[in-house]
Amino acid sequence: MPKKYNLIFSVAAQNDLKEIFAYISAEYPQIAEKILDKIEAKANSLVVFPQKGRIVPELLTYNNIREYRELQEYPWRIIYQASDGKITVHAVLDGRRNIKDLLAKKFLHKLP
């Protein structure tokens, strides 16, 4: 039986989810709940297969950063890191936006 990882949503990712919910629920409250459920279900799929997501291409082109991966629940991109028996979701981003700018705000100031 494969090892199960613990899933953690960082404070930043929790804030992303709150913003997504607030934005969508302003016009479509029932749809907002369903979207959050889909995002959380996709993230939960990582507890058994943490490496199933692809390396984030924008971070790969920035200094060859490979430790962050992503899953997509279109149009949302779930950015996470697997290490030490845990999966940490760092961000949930709208893939229709400028991802390079969003990643720069969230990650690049923390990275080597």
Has residue 34 been placed in a domain?
Answer: yes
Spatial separation of the C-alpha atoms in residues 45 and 56, rounded to whole Å: 18
Structural domain count, the chain: 1
* Cβ neighbours around 25 below 10 Å, total: 15
Has residue 30 been placed in a domain?
Answer: yes
Spatial separation of the C-alpha atoms in residues 36 and 100, rounded to whole Å: 23
Over its length of 112 residues, how does the chain's per-residue pLDDT go in tens digits?
667 899 999 999 999 999 999 999 999 989 999 999 999 999 999 999 999 999 999 888 877 889 999 999 999 999 999 998 999 999 999 988 878 777 777 766 554 4
Domain residue limits at 15:
6-108
CATH at 39: 3.30.2310.20
Between strands 86-94 and 6-9, the pairing is parallel
Please tell me the pTM assigned to this model: 0.88
Eight-state DSSP code of residue 27: T
Question: Taking each helix axis from N to C terminus, what angle separates 11-25 and 29-44, rounded to the nearest 10 degrees?
Answer: 150
65 three-state secondary structure: coil
List C-alpha distances in Å: 96 to 54, 72, 74: 18, 12, 9
Per the omega criterion (within 30 degrees of 0), is the bond before 75 cis?
yes
Has residue 1 been placed in a domain?
Answer: no
- Select from 76, 72, 111, 78 the least CA-distant residue to 97: 76
